[in-house]
Structure 1
Amino acid sequence: MDYKDTLNLPKTDFEMRGNLPKKEPDFQKRWQQLNLNQAILDSNDRSKAFYLHDGPPYANGNMHVGHALNKTLKDIVVRFKSMEGYYSPLIHGWDTHGMPIEVALQKKGLSVKNLSVTDFCEKCSQFADEQVSIQREQIRRLGVLGDLDHPYLTKNKDFVAKQIEVFATMALKGYIYKGLKTVFWSPSSQTALAEAEIEYYDVQSYSIYVSFQVVDGKNLLDNQTSFIIWTTTPWTIPSNLAICLNPKMIYGLYQTNKGKFIVSKHLMDGLKEELNFENVQLLKEFKGAEKRI
């Protein structure tokens, strides 16, 4: 006897195996035929809108797990808002400008050293279009909603024109001004770099403690008191304009064998050893916000 035949188990038409690699493309093909994304949008009221603009990824290569997480989380948000009755499109786009695209081409041996600027820019544009097509299909395979056939691209003339229009509006409202600012510069790329593109090596540097004597304590401190600062760039000291205290941190005024100093209270134990302070006596403690001279 086969004991399996004696069991009263529920019957199902579901297959024992999912075969998802084969079936997922079929599901997605059906979604495209049904225009599922537009159907979901049309089912909700446009007057109750929730727009989510995709902060555009660079069009410079295949998607990685960070992209997958980013797209999935945004997809969850717009699906949830749709279920709440909102007209909630996920507006896809790509950043088709910038160093990542140029660097990708430089790895292929193409640069302004062997091409004119016009030809190099055209190659960058073609490469960006290719990568957009690749990433578009990869996003589709994630099952993410959104009109992927009509994304915004930062290199499109309409998009650039809109940027100039917004900049003009800001200028007319007085938000744009000309001033001095330090910027990161890449000699090899011959361009300014955003802070997000800067990576610092972990290095060991020489450092120095320097005491600044109070010149005018304004009846808050006597002129025999000094502030101690620590720096790895002592050559910048002549351009210093102020010594700043953390308004919420507790500082101490200490008498030592080398004079009176103001330092952060929780750092004094370490400074005793490093600076060979002896006979240390706490004269007063205060918050940084209490001293303004």
Structure 2
Amino acid sequence: MPDSFRVVVCGPASWNHLIVLDHLPEPVPHMQFARRAWHTAGGTSAGKALHLAELGVDVRLWTPLGMDDDGGRLRGLLASAGVLVEAVDSERTERHVNLMTDGGGRVSLYVSVPSAPSAGALGAVRGAVAAADVAVIDLSELGARVLENLAPTHPPLWVDLHDYDGSSAFHEPFLRAADTVFMNDDRTDDPWELMRFCLDQGPRLAVCTRGAEGAVALEPDGTRHEVAAVPAKVVDTNGAGDAFMAGFLAATLDSAPVAEALQAAAEQARVAIESEHLHPALGR
């Protein structure tokens, strides 16, 4: 991959406590025993940066971090995996407790969230985005604030809409600003219709992941692409979508056409699925 490619990823990183249960808790007082539990890095932007770094992309992660123990753990863990972290000062580091089942059920409890970014921090992030070759702007208060006053001339923006349903007001500025959008099919019965709606708002490519059914992509001229999920030994599905997007972006930077990029993305998703971390490098 050419050394000139610089990717900025802007958005959340968190310190997570993952707890696997036989079943998700019912809304009544009771006691359950965890089958297993561990702490690790989380956050959609951290996941993308980890996989991009492993794929040889020159990537910088701009994310809110506090000067607390959780922030220190995140800095060290991400750095050990080859991710260059540019911390946006926050009063606290984001922290989650994720209750999960082997069947894919999940409840995410937000224990702490970052404080609002300062004007100076926003200016620094916007400057980094403007100087990059590609910028990934993830759903977050930081991402939304960066988009508010982004310079008219900026690099291509890639946005992960996650479980977008086609009507969420929070997602709209991200969708309108994007050149390439990713999403999953959790809130749609027709991913092709959802992707067509997204393309009508301005992006030049839409990609929708479908879990075990693989993924699909749609170009503005109506060209459709599909890829099957790569068989995997499922350990933890957290971060699979972030790994998929990172694999697609890395392949695109290497000039791969959409069909080849989809295949590379599916292969990268397998890497995340077969690890109890966002990327296996965090467990080494």
- Structure having the higher strand fraction is 2
TM-score range, shorter chain: under 0.3
TM-score normalised by structure 2 residue count: 0.23
Tell me which of the two structures has the higher relative contact order, counting C-alpha pairs closer than 8 angstroms and 6 or more residues apart: 2
Larger Rg over CA atoms: 1
TM-score normalised by structure 1 residue count: 0.22
- Structure having the higher helix fraction is 1
